[in-house]
Amino acid sequence: TDGNVEKAPFHFDIHVEEFLPERLKIELDSPQAALTPGESLLIEATSAYLYGAPAGGNRFVASMVLTPALHPIAAHPDFHFGDASARFDNTPTEVLDATFDDAGKASTYVDLSQVPGDKGPIEVKILGEVSESGGRAVNKVLKRVIWPAPVLLGVRPQFDDDSAPGDSTAKLDVIAADAEGKRHAVTGVTVRVLRDWRDYSWYYRDDNSFDVSVISATTLVEERTVDLTADGRPFELEVPVKWGGYW
């Protein structure tokens, strides 16, 4: 415009006020570094405003999600532990809905007795959320692993993307380790190699389209006994493979 409101094509009035939203922080912790099957998880939450006052009276909600912990040991990041085919419902389950006390603290035990103990290491992920008076939420995540046995077997493929070439020899490194990453000597480990065989039959339909019929079967390819050492190079497992899936 030329500065003349009367000649302006349009105008819009706004009102500006200084507003500083509340700022919160939240800490989520547990004294348990690792869990055993059936053990409850103690979660401890602390929340405060950034200027120091406790967030007493604010709502605190905690939810839980379970996932397979396929690489739970930092000392052996490339090794797979547990059941790679295990699946869990990834829908968050609410485990606590409470308010912080006057000191800005809240805690509870999370019941894990129904978590299966035969799926290998399982990661328990707790999402803690505290809401400001304006409705905005501040989140924090706590992770712990359920370790189902004192020592577990770990497998590291020597091929990329978990896919070995067909009609070749697939090689894998095998170790035994505990939750702290210390390797252990284990004798008489039974190794079974299973092949997921599938046959596809295509047939023509009356409506000028094609359909497919799949026949599948799992067969035992090989079984052997191996010994694992506590140090040195991991045991190298060699498996002749064709096309298809193997377990």
Q: What is the mean pLDDT of residues 140-166?
A: 90
pLDDT tens-place string over residues 65-120? 999 998 999 999 999 998 877 888 888 999 999 999 999 999 999 999 988 888 88
Residue 182 scores a pLDDT above 90: yes
pTM for this model (two decimals): 0.76
pLDDT tens-place string over residues 43-58? 999 999 888 899 999 9
What type of residue sits at position 161?
D
Is-contact 192 222, C-beta < 8 A?
A: yes
Is-contact 89 68, C-beta < 8 A?
A: no
| Half-sphere exposure at residue 19, Cβ-oriented, CA atoms within 13 angstroms | 5
Is-contact 121 148, C-beta < 8 A?
A: yes
Q: What is the mean pLDDT of residues 55-62?
A: 92
Q: Give CA–CA dist 125/166, Å, rounded.
A: 38
Residue 136 scores a pLDDT above 80: no
The whole-chain average pLDDT of the chain stands at: 88
Residue 126 scores a pLDDT above 80: yes
